[in-house]
């Protein structure tokens, strides 16, 4: 009888551990992950994310989200507890990339040649220095008082500090920070007063940013803008992208012209979308125009996607010299404002700008 009683006490004292612990991880925007977990015979869960020295913390429910602030590989630990000291666990690794955090660039993509039949390179910037060349000047501020919001209700304040030349790239960074009464900062550079161009081929190789309210652009304005203003000076948009998760945004490039059509503003353009679920931020691409006195042709990775006839006498501004601009806007009439899905910082990396004149 004594032996049987002792055996029964041992059975009563034995803890029944949880079983069938299942863990899944979803990678989200802004460096966030969602951890979903379940188990049987569990009293509570603890979860650790591997980015601090703290022990796994008690969580309620069957899922939890966490935001990582630095790129790297992290080990997520999920513990299913019967008691504080009695539990089972599962470890799962997650890799947070620089691009998930809005920094860093792809290492692949299209590259254009250094020469074309019938053309000679007349000017280029490969951004191989450590500072911006004297061919570029900055535009700073918010456009006020003459052109507040730069004419589009944009939300950024342009600063020199948001431009870097490093690792062979011109890098413009858009940040969520309060400067000059605005909630975002970025940069805008141009060749006005330094370099102007009339006809030829222009190639710009770049890795674009992404996300709702993000608006990178490579474009040109007529040198006459200081005398006759816009749109009479003419505008050539080599590339614009309005970011966002919905179809036709992060995966679509736009090419457009704006002009004064006998006293009335007019614009016309075309666009090209990537297929197979790709977005423009996934790779470097080359954005080009071929421009002569008769037409402007837009190309993505050397494939034509749109043409505009400019022979009309009302489009004479497109037969005059233009200067280049590169900027990364935040918000505005066309893209709309950033939302909770928008990653900050966002970076635009330009590998080179090359201008070719016809022989």
What residues act catalytically?
235, 240
Contact 210, 245 (CB under 8 A): no
State the Cα–Cα distance between residues 290 and 310, nearest whole angstrom. Answer: 12
Q: 44-48 and 285-291 as β-strands: parallel, antiparallel, unpaired?
A: unpaired
Q: Give dist(CA 68, CA 49) in Å, integer.
A: 9
The helix (run of H) or strand (run of E) holding residue 57 is: strand 57-59
DSSP code string of 75-121 = EEEEEEESSSS-EEEEEEEEEE-TGGGT----S-B----S--TTEEE
Maximum distance among all Cα pairs of the chain, rounded to whole angstroms: 113
Q: How far apart are CA 283 and CA 280, in angstroms?
A: 6
CB 22 within 8 A of CB 37: yes
Can you read off the two tokens belonging to residue 348?
């635009």
What are the helix (H) ranges across the chain?
A: 2-13, 225-228
Answer for the pair 322, 236: CB distance below 8 angstroms, yes or no: yes
């Amino acid at each position: 009888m004594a032996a049987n009683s002792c055996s029964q006490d041992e059975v009563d004292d034995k803890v029944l551990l949880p079983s069938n612990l299942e863990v899944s991880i979803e990678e989200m925007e802004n460096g966030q992950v969602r951890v979903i977990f379940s188990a049987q015979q569990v009293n509570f869960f603890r979860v650790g994310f591997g980015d601090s020295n703290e022990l796994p913390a008690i969580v309620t429910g069957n899922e939890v989200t966490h935001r990582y602030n630095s790129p790297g590989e992290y080990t997520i630990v999920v513990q299913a507890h019967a008691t504080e000291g009695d539990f089972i666990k599962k470890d799962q690794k997650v890799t947070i990339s620089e691009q998930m955090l809005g920094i860093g660039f792809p290492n692949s993509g299209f590259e254009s040649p250094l020469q074309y039949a019938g053309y000679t390179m007349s000017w280029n910037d490969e951004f191989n220095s450590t500072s911006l060349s004297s061919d570029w000047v900055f535009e700073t501020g918010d456009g006020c008082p003459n052109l507040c919001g730069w004419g589009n209700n944009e939300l950024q304040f342009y600063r020199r500090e948001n431009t870097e030349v490093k690792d062979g790239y011109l890098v413009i960074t858009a940040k969520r920070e309060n400067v000059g009464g605005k909630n975002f900062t970025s940069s805008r550079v141009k060749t006005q007063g330094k370099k102007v161009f009339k006809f030829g081929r222009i190639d710009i190789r770049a890795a674009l940013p992404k996300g709702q309210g993000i608006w990178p652009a490579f474009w040109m304005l007529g040198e006459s803008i200081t005398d006759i203003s816009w749109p009479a000076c003419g505008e050539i948009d080599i590339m614009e992208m309005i970011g966002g998760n919905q179809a036709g945004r992060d995966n679509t490039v736009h090419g457009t012209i704006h002009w004064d059509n006998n006293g009335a503003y007019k614009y016309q353009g075309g666009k090209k979308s990537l297929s197979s679920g790709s977005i423009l931020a996934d790779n470097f691409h080359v954005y080009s125009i071929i421009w002569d006195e008769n037409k402007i042709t837009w190309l993505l990775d050397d494939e034509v996607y749109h043409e505009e006839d400019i022979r009309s006498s009302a489009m004479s501004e497109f037969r005059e010299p233009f200067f280049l601009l590169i900027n990364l806007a935040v918000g505005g009439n066309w893209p709309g404002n950033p939302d909770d899905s928008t990653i900050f910082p966002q970076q635009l990396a330009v590998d080179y700008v090359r201008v070719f004149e016809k022989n």
